[in-house]
Amino acid sequence: MMMHPDVKRTVKNALAEDIGPGDITTNACIPASLQAEARFMAKQDLTLAGVELLRLLFDGSQIFKRSGETAASGEQIALVRGPARMLLARERVALNFLQRLSGIATLAASYVRAVKGTGVRILDTRKTTPGLRVLEKMAAAAGGVVNHRMGLYDAVLIKNNHIRLAGGVRAAIERARVTRKPIEVEVRTRVEIGDALDCGVSRVLLDNMTPEQAAIEIRFIDHRAETEISGNVTLENIRAYAEARPDFISSGSITHSAVAVDINCGIYAL
């Protein structure tokens, strides 16, 4: 995944954005010949993601904890040796990636833990930072979440605006058959659920229902299609939704509301 063209392009753009024509402070203060080491340390308990990006940013990276693994506060994550100027110039970009992506992985892992034992699988969404989707979905997966569609091009998901503009659930589904892909449709009422089931969709997405409403509709669906719950799902209420026994629960907050975790980079002369 780290060799994905989008990932390599993102790293290149991040370095160009921050360094520009040169790190004027570092170049003024630090001799070109000085060698140093950068120690990346967890400053809180977390689930890691994106640590392999260090190999794209620095030569000679030693990675002690990999994406998907947990790190306790005070544990060393990675060690990088090289020219001090290079370490200083790339330190912030490295930390921005590690802190953001590990924040997503840490939150994702919390969601997965919250539904443990129910058999429900947690999905991410397309609510990602523009330009960072591949990395953010990789981070969600590192936390144990199942990646939903990567974009609009790889899966059919008929949503409320499609239904409205197409003239109803049945009309939208019939038109979507041309894709020859499994069809998922978002529904909000029993009538829409019935229409979707009658048309033989693969998955029904129950949108913005309470846990109690979702449980009633899942019993009605009775395994005639896969079921997914979405809308207003939080870490505080996801267990209640999971106990309605859907196949999946999706939450955009895993990516759009994750808080960056605390990772430190100390740089020392050799």
Which CATH code for domain 117-256?
3.20.20.70
The pTM (predicted TM-score) of the whole model is 0.95
Backbone φ, ψ for residue 128 (5° rounding): -120, 165
Q: Does the domain spanning 5-112+258-269 belong to CATH 3.90.1170.20?
A: yes
d(CA 55, CA 58): 5
73-110 confidence digits (pLDDT tens): 999 999 999 999 999 999 999 999 999 999 999 999 99
Is 159 strand, coil or helix? coil
Read off the amino acid at residue 167.
Answer: G
Backbone φ, ψ for residue 71 (5° rounding): -135, 135
169-176 vs 190-198: helix axis angle to the nearest 10? Answer: 30
Tokens 């140093």 locate to 36
Q: Are strands 248-250 and 226-230 parallel, antiparallel or unpaired?
A: parallel
CA atoms lying within 13 Å on the CB side of residue 64: 12
Residue 3 has pLDDT above 80, yes or no: no
Candidates 149, 146, 100; CA nearest to 247 is 146
- Residue 103 tokens read as 């924040």
Mean pLDDT on 161-165: 97
Active site residue ranges: 92, 127, 159, 186, 207
pLDDT for the residue numbered 1: 65
d(CA 68, CA 143): 6
Tokens 């979707």 locate to 196
Domain assignments of the chain as residue spans, ordered by start: 5-112+258-269, 117-256
Same fold, 5-112+258-269 and 117-256: no
Candidates 226, 193, 195; CA nearest to 209 is 193
pLDDT for the residue numbered 175: 97
CB atoms under 10 Å from CB of 270, counted, come to: 9
Confidence bin at 2 (pLDDT 50/70/90) = confident
